[in-house]
Amino acid sequence: MNRYLIKFTKQGLVRYTSHLDMMRLFQRAFKRGNIRLAYSSGFSPHPKISFAHPLSLGFTSSSEYLEIVCAEAGEPSAIQEALNRSLPHGIHSTRCKEIPEPGKTMASLVRWASYRITLPGADHPGGQQFLEYIDQPVLIGKKRKKGSKELVDVDMKPLIHNATVVSDDASGLSLDVIVSAGSSANLNPEVLLQSFLDSVKRGELFPVVQFERTELHDETMISLWNIFS
């Protein structure tokens, strides 16, 4: 036992820390909070801690997941409090609970991710344009090939589950999308947005687009938090 699921948020400038930075940052936070993690056995032991799904550099999130195995049993609420005392500004745990062990890793359960995409300001393409764009029978995006600068085509159509327009007015355009996430199929919403903006000849807006992850789901669209309840 002693396996815990932790939900946390990432807001503000700290969104510019990478996945690797976050890994280091949480390991240190647990150490600071005096929460003793279990270590893997073997040649170079490392603490048992893993994120459900990496978050792109620059994205905020209201719904990140981390699982840990502790060296000793503890109250989830105590773990959460100790962690919150130890985390830097902008990262905050909202929930923590014990989950069965052994079990599949969170990372292997993730299939879909929800994002809120915001284009601030009055000058933006319309929400309807976006819906029409993704409604096309074939939807090709450009994705950077791993480890190189080369762009490759990616068929985005099967990777988009759902899209809705949240608001579309002078204060900005706000969209909710649910797209594939995980090791078998994955769509970074940046690729989707870049393709859309390019298609309506508004590529210059891309640097101001804000991305926030709002949930991670398994294949049946259940949020990770609810899988174990």
Partner 1 sequence: MTLNKQLELLLPKVEKPARYIGGELNTVSKVTEEGMTRFGFAFPDTYELGMSYLGLQILYKSLNDMDSVFCERIFAPALDMERELRSAGLPLFTLETKTPANELDLLGFTLQYELSYTNVLNMLDLSRIPLRSCDRGETDPFILGGGPCAFNPEPVADFFDFFLIGDGEESIRQVCELHQQWKRSKADRNVFLSTISSLPGVYVPGFYQPMYDEKCTVSEIKVLNDSAPARVTKSVLSDLNSFDFPEAPIVPLIEVVHDRSVIELFRGCTRGCRFCQAGMIYRPVRERSKESILALADAQLKSSGYDELSLLSLSTSDYSCFEPLALELVAWGRENNVSLSLPSLRLDSFSFQVLQEIQKYKKTGLTFAPEAGTQRLRDVINKSITEDDIFTGVKQAISLGWYTVKLYFMIGLPTETKEDLDGIVNIAAEIMQLARQGGGSGKSNRFQLSVSISNFVPKAHTPFQWVAQDEPHVFTEKHMYLKDRLKKLRGVQYQYHGSDASRIEAVLARGDRRLSDVIEQAWSLGAKFDGWREHFRYDLWLQAFDATGIDPTFYTSGTVSTGTVLPWNVIDSGVTTDYLQAEWESAKGEVQTQDCRLGCTGCGINTFTTCPMEGSQ
For binding to partner 1 (CB under 8 A), which residues are involved?
Answer: 12-14, 16-18, 20-21, 24-25, 27-34, 39, 43-44, 57-58, 86, 88-90, 207-208
Q: Is 157 exposed, middle or buried (0-12, 13-18, 19+ CB in 10 A)?
A: middle
Give the nearer residue to partner 1 in terms of CB position, either 33 or 182.
33
Give the nearer residue to partner 1 in terms of CB position, either 18 or 167.
18
Give the nearer residue to partner 1 in terms of CB position, either 13 or 73.
13
**Smallest separation, CB 45 to partner 1 (Å):** 8
Position of tokens 């270590």? 39
d(CA 158, CA 162): 10
SS3 assignment, position 1? coil
**Smallest separation, CB 211 to partner 1 (Å):** 11
Residue type, 53: H
Give the nearer residue to partner 1 in terms of CB position, either 33 or 125.
33
**Smallest separation, CB 132 to partner 1 (Å):** 27
Give the nearer residue to partner 1 in terms of CB position, either 20 or 73.
20
Could you give phi then psi for residue 186, rounded to 5 degrees? -150, 135
**Smallest separation, CB 34 to partner 1 (Å):** 8
**Smallest separation, CB 12 to partner 1 (Å):** 8
Q: Are 75 and 39 in contact (CB under 8 A)?
A: no
Residue 66 CA: distances (Å) to CA of 11, 49, 115, 131, 225: 16, 7, 18, 33, 11
> Which residue, among 15, 113, 101, has the nearest Cα to 50 in the 3D structure?
101
